[in-house]
Amino acid sequence: MMKKYLLIALLSLLTLAVSAQRIIRDRHIVNQQERMVFKQWSKSKFTPTSGFLGLNPNYLLTWAWHPDYPKNDLRPLGPAGPQTQRLAFAAAMQNTENAYKLHADTLRNTVVTEAVNYSAIFSNADPLWMLYYRHEFEPLLDQQDEELLSNVSTKERDYLVRTGVYEWYLEESDGIRERLDGAMNTTVDRGSRILAYHRLFLEYRKLNTAWEAKKQYARKFLSLSESAGKMKSREQPIVQSQGYRTDQQIADDILRKSKL
């Protein structure tokens, strides 16, 4: 029972001791905390002070060993504080990072532009090809060899095949188509590719003009050959034009005039 009372009394004393503690506010500590954090330090706040005629022994014991301490600004966020330097360094690193990022983005855009400019993958998506050359080369790309002579007569078809004109056109058109395919699938700059398109287009147009002319010549040649054959076999009489005279008529006219 006594032990119980002693324990209660001891706990009561401890409670009184704890409640009896008071907060100590030392202005020296407060000043030092303010100096280290945010406030501008003033020499008048360096305590203990020198006192009358600088004879304060506490001042001598405290600051005699650190004469330069009051002159130094130790605030982390001061003009030259470590935190300020860290923030300035972080800002400088951020600016450098942004500059590197801008440079990298510029290089990326340049690389993408050059890739699009040189790569054959994007040749079919070229605006000039889609708007002009694709339509001009469409007959060549969709050409069916058996349909080239579909609009001519049988005699003309036989003549063009027999004389080699048809084979000549097939070889020339195949060559232009192969070179066009090479220009579209070769890694080359866009300007050179467009120039190749234009040169091939001029050749293709010239080839088509020659092909049409040869078909017309074949039609005329066959017509003239047919007319000459009929005349030779006398299936078609010779029609005398106005003013035409035979040799006998000319001789009779000469004899008649001589008798006069």
pTM over 0.85: no
For 24-68, what is each residue's pLDDT tens digit? 777 767 776 776 665 566 666 667 777 777 678 877 777 777 777
- Taking the C-alpha atoms of residue 237 and residue 235, their distance in angstroms, rounded to an integer, is 7
**Is the pLDDT score of 246 beyond 80?**
no
- Taking the C-alpha atoms of residue 160 and residue 75, their distance in angstroms, rounded to an integer, is 101
For 90-109, what is each residue's pLDDT tens digit? 999 999 998 888 888 887 78
* Residue 226 exposure: Cα atoms within 13 Å on the Cβ side: 8
CA distances from 152 to 85, 114, 163, 165, 166 (A): 91, 49, 15, 14, 12
Collect all residues with Cβ–Cβ distance below 8 Å to 94 and sequence separation of at least 6.
Answer: none
Q: Which of 19-33, 110-124, 129-143, 240-254 has the highest mean pLDDT?
A: 129-143
